[in-house]
Amino acid sequence: MSFIYKTWWKAVAVLVVIYTIIAGFLFPVPELDIVNETIRNVYFHVPMWMAMLVLFSISVFYSIRYLVTQKEDHDLIAVECVNAGLIFYVLGLVTGMIWANYTWGEPWSNDPKQSSAAIAFLVYCAYLVLRNSIEEEQKRAKISAIYNIFAYPIMIVLIMILPRMTDSLHPGNGGNPAFGKMDMDNTMRTVFYPAMIAWPVIGVWIATLRYRIRKIENKNLDLN
Amino acid sequence: MNLLTQVKVLLHKEIVLEWRSKYALNGILLYVVSTIFVCYLSFKQTSGVIWNALFWIILLFAAINAISKSFVQESKGRQLYYYTIASPQAVIISKIIYNILLMLVLGSLALLVYGIVFRNPLGDPLYYFLAVVLGSISFSTVFTMVSAIASKAGNNGTLMAILSFPVIIPLLILLIKLSKNAMDGLDRSVSLDEIGVLAAINIIVITVSLLLFPFLWRE
């Protein structure tokens, strides 16, 4: 766990993100009907969801670790990953809605993908409410870890499998091709793939900062 | 005692306990029937889509009410006693099976009364009934585990609802689609995808419940 105190990976992630922002707005993109310049949104929208998924997966991993080891630190990591993941959830939703406004004609059209994303948000809000409803710390850690593990596979089915079974406007779902397969040329890939890696790393950094703040708060409580 | 006998004994106990008091069973049956009447009197007649959605919403709330009781009914002392004589897996399996049986009775009765009160032609009644059976199983597997979690967290109705609704929605979407196909009398092979995904989700939920419940009951 000592890597969370190192600086180099945070610096690399920040530099790569700055590169993807500059290159994302300046590099040429293929000209497509309807989509036009909005295709640049894949540099920002898709990495947000990637970051969210990575953070929620780390959270589930540490929930499992908590059940095995009963160490309070693991519970703190799990909850802070969910908190940081929710930030990226909101960013992913907002970038998607801005894009949908220009290509689908309205920001929210009750597309299956949008509905699924909204329900996935409810799952994690329920997780946070469940945490608040239990006073005793160890019990809270244990029960919320169990709910986290229980809800995760269903969340995956919800946002990865169900929208693919129904008619959806979203690229990659319901018979629509994803951008990656047909429209993305090699210039786009040089921006897209680094963004897919760098944003999750930024997310992990935010989560580790929140985790360290929590640790300091707990320490102060013990001292008083 | 091995797992199978434990499950059998616990299941037998659940059914006998229920049969002696009949309070929960009659209460929940009456709940379903009166909800159907309330819906009928408010809607009078509906289109097919609303008919189908309404049926599943009625069944959803009946299931929440029926299953949220499954861990509260028994006193803490008695639960402790079960845990000393049976394995946690046997406890959760017997609860799931008992809830499936309860939901099958409930779902069949609801479908019968609903069909009589609200007349709506069903294209493929047998397949619609299959959807109800699958729905009863899905509701039971998900709600049993969630009610176990909620009962450890002070168990209020709000918590049960907010924990289980987001988890049940994907299943509900599939069930409504499946039953809509059956209602319209579409070819049976059209719905095989939905049945497959429903079965897969149920298997995942049962496996996860079996793995997690041993951590939950230990206090």
A91 pLDDT band, cuts 50/70/90, is: very high
Q: What part of B 145-184 touches A (C-beta under 8 Å)?
A: 145-146, 149, 152-154, 159, 162-163, 165-167, 169-170, 173-174, 177
pLDDT classification of A61: cutoffs 50, 70, 90: very high
Nearest CA distance, A41 vs chain B (angstrom): 28
Q: Alpha carbon B88 to chain centroid distance? A: 21
**Most confidently modeled range among B10-19, B24-33, B41-50, B92-101:** B92-101
User: B153 or A48: whose pLDDT is higher?
Assistant: A48
Find chain B residues with C-beta within 8 A of A147's C-beta.
149, 163
Task: Please report residues of B whose CB lies closer than 8 A to that of A65.
Answer: none
CA distances from A21 to A17, A50, A89, A105, B198 (A): 6, 17, 19, 25, 41
CA distances from B41 to A31, A43, B36, B116 (A): 57, 53, 9, 14
Is the pLDDT at A68 greater than 60? The verdict is: yes
Q: Which residue did the predictor score with more confidence, A37 or A140?
A: A140
pLDDT score at B59: 92
Q: Does B204 touch chain A (CB under 8 A)?
A: yes
The pLDDT-based confidence of A145 (bands split at 50, 70, 90) is very high
Query: A134 and chain B: CB distance < 8 Å anywhere?
Result: yes
Rounded distance, CA B123 to CA B48, Å? 11
- Distance from C-alpha of B200 to C-alpha of B191, rounded to nearest angstrom: 14
**Cα–Cα distance for residue pair B99/B82, rounded to 1 Å:** 18
Instruction: Give the tens place of pLDDT for each residue, A165-213.
Output: 776 677 766 555 566 555 667 777 888 888 889 999 999 999 999 999 9
Is the minimum CB–CB distance between A130 and chain B shorter than 8 Å? Answer: yes
Q: What is the DSSP string of B159-204?
A: HHHHHHHHHHHHHHHHHHHHHHHHHTT--GGGGHHHHHHHHHHHHH
Q: Looking at residue B214, what is its pLDDT?
A: 87
Q: Give the C-alpha separation, A85 to A50, whole Å.
A: 10
DSSP structure string for A52-90: HHHHHHHHHHHHHHHHHH--HHHHHHHHHHHHHHHHHHH
Structure-block tokens of residue B163:
């924990």
pLDDT value at residue B155: 61
CA–CA separation, B135 and B120 (whole Å): 20
Q: How far is B20 from chain A (nearest CA, A)?
A: 33
For testing contact with chain A, the best of B151, B207, B215, B218 (most A CBs within 10 A) = B215
Any B CB within 8 A of A60 CB: no
- B210 contacts chain A (CB < 8 A): no
Q: Please state, in angstroms and as integers, the Cα–Cα distance from residue A31 to each residue in A35, A36, A40, A67, A185, following that order.
A: 8, 6, 11, 51, 11
Question: Average model confidence (pLDDT) for chain A?
Answer: 85
- Which distant-in-sequence residues (6+ apart) come within 8 Å of B179 by Cβ? B52, B55, B56, B128, B131, B132, B135
- Residue B86's SS3 state is coil
Residues 6+ away with beta carbon under 8 Å from B64: B143, B160, B161, B164
Residue A1 has pLDDT above 90, yes or no: no
Residue B99: predicted pLDDT: 92
Averaged pLDDT, B43-58: 86
B153 contacts A134? CB cut-off 8 A: yes
pLDDT for B46 equals 79
Distance CA B48, CA B32 (A): 20
The candidate with the shortest Cα–Cα distance to A125, out of A110, A108, A146, A147, is A147
Q: What is the pLDDT of residue B70?
A: 77
From chain A, pick out residues whose CB is under 8 angstroms from the CB of B155.
none
The residue to which tokens 């996935």 are assigned: A120
Chain B CB contacts of A119 below 8 Å? 166, 169-170
Work out how many domains chain A is built from and give that number.
1
Closest residue in chain B to residue A66, using alpha carbons only = B215
How much is the CA Rg of chain A, to the nearest whole Å?
A: 19
pLDDT of residue A25: 84
Domain that holds residue A147: 2-27+35-223
Mark yes or no for CB contact B205/A154 under 8 Å.
yes
Spatial distance between the Cα atoms of B165 and A103, rounded to a whole number of angstroms: 32
* Closest-CA residue to A185 (of A14, A22, A42, A89): A42
| pLDDT tens digits along A21-42 | 888 888 877 777 666 777 788 8
Which two tokens mark B138?
């899905």
pLDDT confidence of residue A205 = 93
Residue of A139, A147, A165 lying closest to B163 (CB–CB): A147
Distance CA A138, CA A142 (A): 6
* Cα dihedral B14, B17, B18, B24 sign: negative
Pick B167's closest partner by Cβ from A130, A151, A165: A151
Query: CA of B112, closest CA in chain A: separation in Å?
Result: 30
pLDDT of residue B153: 80
Least Cα distance to A175 among A184, A190, A165, A187 occurs for A165
